[in-house]
Amino acid sequence: MGSIGAWISAFFAKIFGTVDRSTDKLRQDPDVMKHEYGSVIQEKSGSARRLKEAIATLIRTQEGYKTELERVEDEAEELATDVAGAEAAAIARANKLVAAGKSQADVEADPEYLGLIESHTDWSSSLGDKRARITDLETLIAQLGEQIDEQTLNLKGVMRQIEDLKVEQAQAVAEVISNKELAQINDMLSGLATDGTGERLRSLREARGQVKAEARLSAALAGTDTTAQRAKVRSAGRSAAAKAAFADKVFGAAAKDAPAATPAPAADTAQKRIDQLP
């Protein structure tokens, strides 16, 4: 089971490896490279657009808080005036009652005085809430301002990346085209162009060398045969001469008395020599 799994893994690894190599080769095409850069630039532009929308939302939210802050500050100012007025009115009422000979208990039981005190208390509570809201709004506005500044810097960075990518796109496409042309020129100069002339010349030169080698071998063999034939003829000649000299010493007298032999015609001698050839 493990071997099957390993085989499957190797199979898919080979497929995806081939796909990766094909993809790398495809990306070396100028048009494909331009399209790929265009896709990246488009994605970056989409990110910039979404970032702009997010910043716009933050700005709208901040502006809403600012508007609310102005309203709450106005309300707080009015409440502060009301609180101060209620307090002054309550004091004036108490002083009037005291001047009329009323005791503290009578003053504290006075309905008008009690109404002023109640209004003062209510308005003071509302003023406290308004002031707390003002503090919260100021904090929120400050935080949003920091986020807006931070995201604005990010947006500027993305926009710079887009501009840089546009320049890089043009440079990369130009480099690929230039490198392809340079590679073709180098191939032509080194004899490795795709027309196959280098391989054909190599085959022709090998055939030429083979013919020369065979010719030298044939010449060497022919020279050996001629030398052997000459050596055999010379050996036969020396043997005939030695026999004639020995016969002359042994049978000298008889040979002198015997009638001279008629020499063989030159043609016959030549023919005999020829016949002796192997």
**DSSP letter, residue 12:** H
pLDDT-derived band at 244, boundaries 50, 70, 90: low
pLDDT per position as a tens digit, 92-115: 999 999 999 999 999 999 999 999
Read off the pTM: 0.53
Terminal-to-terminal C-alpha distance of the chain:
79
State the DSSP string of 164-196. Answer: HHHHHHHHHHHHHHHHHHHHHHHHHHTT--TT-
Cβ atoms 41, 168 nearer than 8 A: no
In this predicted structure, the answer to whether residue 1 has a pLDDT above a threshold of 70 is no
